[in-house]
Amino acid sequence: AVRDPEDLDARSSMHLASVFAGIGFGNAGVHLCHGMSYPIAGNVKTHSAKGYSVEHALVPHGLSVVLTSPAVFNFTAPMCPERHLEAAEILGADIRQVKREDAGAVLADTLRQFLFDLQVEDGLGAVGYSKDDVPALVKGTIPQV
C-alpha cells in the first residue's frame, strides 16, 4: 500500500488492519506510543509531512505514534519479552537465538529497519524536536497515560 498506492487490495488490507487496531485500543486502553503522540503532533513547529499539501507544520497522527515506538518497546519489553519477541518475528526478525533480556532491543532494531525501509522519519529530531522540547512533550503526555 505504501509503495504502490494503486494496489487496492493492499490498501484495503491496511484499512482493515487499522480498524482492528482501533478495536484493540477500545478494549485495551491507550499504549504509551499513542499517548505520547498527541503532544508530538500538537507542538510541532516546522515539520512538513511528506505527501501532505498543507501550508502549516504537520506531524500526522500515525507518524507521531510510530516515532517513539522503538524506544517505548525497548522500555516495555522486560514486562513481557515473549510478546515483544513475537512482534519482532512478525516484522521479520529471526528470534531463534535471542535471549529474553534482549527482546526490547531486537524489536526496536527490527522496527527501525522496517520504518527505514518505508522511508519513515526516524525519531523526534527528524520532525524538528530537540532536548529543549522534552518538558513540553512530557507535560502533554502525562494526561494521556
pLDDT classification of 103: cutoffs 50, 70, 90: very high
Q: What is the pLDDT of residue 25?
A: 67
In this prediction, residues 29-46 reach a mean pLDDT of 87
Q: What is the pLDDT of residue 26?
A: 61
Size of the chain in residues: 145
Percent of the chain with pLDDT over 90: 70
Q: What is the pLDDT of residue 28?
A: 55
The model's pTM: 0.80
Residues near 77 by beta carbon (within 8 Å), at least 6 away in sequence: 84, 103, 104, 105, 107
CA distances (Å), 139 to each of 4, 36, 38, 142, in order? 38, 10, 11, 6
**81 vs 21, more confident:** 81
